[in-house]
């Protein structure tokens, strides 16, 4: 509780407080300006573009990372040779150094000598084309998180009694029917947990964009997230008040989405 209060709750109140101020010249001093930052943020096209970029990233990363991880978890939950090795390989991106991951994917996505374009004989500008750059970043996000999601799903699958599957098999149910009528309902609490955490995580994406996209990239405006924009205003432009306002906006959006998720879970999540 002490750690939660000191590291999470107090900073939230400090951020909200800071959003009512404008940082002075050279990042020194605070000038109280009331709700001026909030009026500005709602009329700032750069903020809304960053929000749109964040939503695009989440739309790709969240469902694909969940579906792929769930399929892998079901496959690797069965008895098979080398199961532990496969689990380890899939989980490795979670423990890989982010800087190394960024360097590898920048090479893979390179439009001139990247591996992907050379293998498929294409000339796609994966991370420099404003139309597709955010989706390329989302692909990296999916690759990075499926191992973590898979471990959570494996934990949930191992809690499902095998008796249910035996009874379904006796009644003539196929593997697909057992999956949709036994596995999914009994795994729904884990799926809901992964869904909530991934939505929150995708809305807070920063490190991938920061490390893969350099400041001279023409597609940066179409890929920068709200958190990246917060970083630019707070640590580059030294306007901490406006940066705090952007974070408060993201916090409100995240809370609203989470509330709707909590309400909606009553229709499809089964705890008993």
Instruction: Write the CATH number for 49.
Output: 1.10.3720.10
In a domain, 232, yes or no: yes
Q: What residues contact residue 99 under an 8 Å CB cut-off, 6+ apart?
A: 211
Task: Name the DSSP letter for residue 5.
Answer: I
In a domain, 26, yes or no: no
> Is the confidence at residue 79, as pLDDT, over 90?
no
Q: Own/partner pairs for 26-34, CB < 8 Å, 24+ apart?
A: 26/238, 27/238, 27/240, 30/241, 33/241
Structural domain count of the chain: 1
- What is the span of the domain harbouring residue 182? 35-267
Q: At what angle do helices 45-76 and 133-157 cross, to 10 degrees?
A: 40
Tell if the pTM clears 0.85, that is, is over it.
yes
The pLDDT of 83-100, averaged and rounded, is 88
What's the pLDDT band for 251 if we cut at 50, 70, 90?
A: very high
In a domain, 164, yes or no: yes
What's the pLDDT band for 258 if we cut at 50, 70, 90?
A: very high
224 vs 25 pLDDT, higher one: 224
> Is the confidence at residue 26, as pLDDT, over 80?
no
| Structure tokens belonging to residue 241 | 């008040």
In a domain, 61, yes or no: yes
């Amino acid at each position: 509780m002490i750690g939660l209060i000191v590291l999470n709750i107090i900073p939230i109140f400090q951020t909200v407080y800071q959003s009512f101020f404008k940082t002075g010249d050279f990042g020194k001093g605070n000038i109280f300006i009331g709700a001026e930052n909030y009026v500005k943020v709602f009329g700032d096209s750069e903020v809304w573009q960053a929000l749109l970029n964040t939503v695009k990233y989440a739309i790709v990363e969240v469902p694909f990372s969940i579906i792929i991880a769930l399929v892998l978890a079901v496959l690797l939950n069965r008895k098979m040779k080398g199961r532990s090795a496969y689990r380890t390989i899939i989980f490795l991106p979670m423990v890989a150094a982010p800087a190394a991951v960024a360097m590898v994917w920048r090479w893979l996505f390179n439009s001139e000598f990247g591996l992907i374009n050379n293998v498929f004989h294409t000339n796609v500008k994966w991370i420099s084309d404003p139309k597709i750059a955010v989706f390329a970043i989302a692909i990296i996000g999916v690759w990075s998180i499926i191992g973590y999601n898979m471990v959570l799903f494996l934990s949930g699958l191992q809690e499902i009694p095998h008796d249910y599957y035996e009874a379904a098999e006796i009644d003539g149910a196929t593997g697909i029917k057992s999956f949709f009528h036994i596995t999914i309902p009994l795994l729904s609490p884990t799926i809901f947990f992964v869904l909530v955490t991934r939505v929150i995580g995708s809305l807070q994406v920063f490190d991938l964009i920061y490390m893969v996209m350099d400041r001279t990239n023409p597609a940066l405006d179409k890929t920068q997230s709200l958190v990246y924009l917060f970083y630019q205003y707070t640590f580059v432009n030294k306007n901490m008040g406006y940066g705090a306002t952007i974070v408060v906006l993201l916090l409100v959006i995240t809370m609203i989405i989470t509330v709707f998720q909590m309400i909606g879970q009553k229709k499809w999540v089964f705890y008993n």
